[in-house]
Amino acid sequence: MKKISIGCLLLFALSVNVKAQDYKKVRQAILISQVPGGEAKLEEAKTELDKVAADPKAAENAETHLLRAEINGMIVGNETLRAKYPNADVEGLQALKKYLQLQPGEEKLKEDKYAGINQIYSAMFNAGVKSYNDKDWDNAFNKFKDVAELGDMFVARKWSNSSFDTTSYLYAGATAQNAKKQEEAAKYYGVIAEHKVVGKDYESIYDFLVKYYLGKNDQANFTKYLALSKTAYPENKLWNDLEFANMTDNSPIEDVVKKYEAGDASKALTATDYLDYGDYFINNKKIKELEPANRVDYTNRAMASFAKAAELEPTNGIAAYNAGVAAYNLFEDASDKRMAIKGVTPAIKAKQAEADKVVDAAADKSIEWLEKSYKTMDAKAEKSSIEKNSTKSSAKLLSVLFSYKKDRSKGKAAEYDKNDAKFKFYDTKY
């Protein structure tokens, strides 16, 4: 309290150095300007205030800045004068901020009944909307940045019954995003999320924040906004995918394997979890960079993970398809290794026989899951584009696999005919 009192005393001491009658002239001009047709007096008030402000001592007088805010507010409220003084809204805001620094108790502002303040807000907001509609993103953002700041004043000083100026923050974030100012967009969207604003129109904001901080690898903010997003939109499965992506991107492969094995052993993993792990084991960049021989173990893990997802969701043809494709990759890898074994000695023939067993096992496993996938998706009356493509791909891979099985069953009439019939069936389905 002492500091505030001293500040007021200092302010009073400074203010006496500017003649009261100087301000009186300004106020009289403002008063007359309110009469219909008195716009000229408003410009006169502006001129008179400029004369007062020419005195360096006036810069430390709160009333100087209050009157400048009020006059600019009235100017932007007048269509003719607003066009003549296009920066009046910004000048009004800056003057208001300076006034509040010098007189935080708002005594004079209250006496003047907040004259011109609403007009500053409205003018800025409308100018921002116009730039938004014109897709002038930089100017729109600059306006809404000021609108949001003024809106915060309204809330903090209880000039409004609102607890948060959601609209101005939404516009500020959207225009910043469109202007490619991602950091600024995250700043304004972040405040909206922290106020736990929800609804159909706000979900994309949470999506932006989580992805933005994931991309920056900002773990503190990623965790913060992920938690807010899960609370705000608990049905959105994307949050778990992004959480998984963050975990796998920032963990050694060995740690991911351990986490997978622990979740699998405790039966804590959902079908979605198994799909995520399967995708990781087969598509992760770090795993793809391994030598082919070292990738086989992870491809096996991918196949097993996809298969478990399909077992938990038998109607999920895509999960079965992924399991089949992973097994097909193993089939191709085993086939290449088998073809590389050349020679006719007994020892080499024994190696070839063992290699054939590996190829056969991979082929059988791929057939098992691809047929499940094909039958599940082929039976659906309505298919997504992914399901349509996967159904055709399943048939194509199955035709290759049954061609292989047919060649392997030569000399075994019944088995050959069975594999030949399957080959002919799938060969017409893609």
Instruction: Locate 423 and state its tokens.
Output: 């080959």
* DSSP secondary structure, 261-315, as one string: HHHHHTT---HHHHHHHHHHHHH-HHHHTS-HHHHHHHHHHHHHHHHHHHHH-TT
pTM for the predicted model, two decimal places: 0.75
End-to-end Cα distance, the chain: 83
Return phi, psi of residue 158, to 5°.
60, 35
Tell me the pLDDT of the chain (430 aa) as tens digits.
222 222 333 333 333 445 556 789 899 989 988 887 777 889 999 999 999 999 999 999 999 999 999 999 999 999 889 999 999 999 999 999 999 999 999 999 999 999 999 999 999 999 999 999 999 999 999 999 999 999 999 999 999 999 999 999 999 999 999 999 999 999 999 999 999 999 999 999 999 999 999 999 999 999 999 999 999 999 998 999 999 999 998 899 999 999 999 999 999 999 999 999 999 999 999 999 999 889 999 999 999 999 999 999 999 999 999 999 999 999 999 999 999 999 999 999 999 999 999 999 999 999 999 999 999 999 999 999 999 999 999 999 999 999 999 999 999 999 999 999 999 999 999 9
Name the nearest CA neighbour of 63 among 95, 31, 29, 28: 95
- Domains of the chain (ranges; CATH) run 1-115 (no CATH), 251-426 (1.25.40)
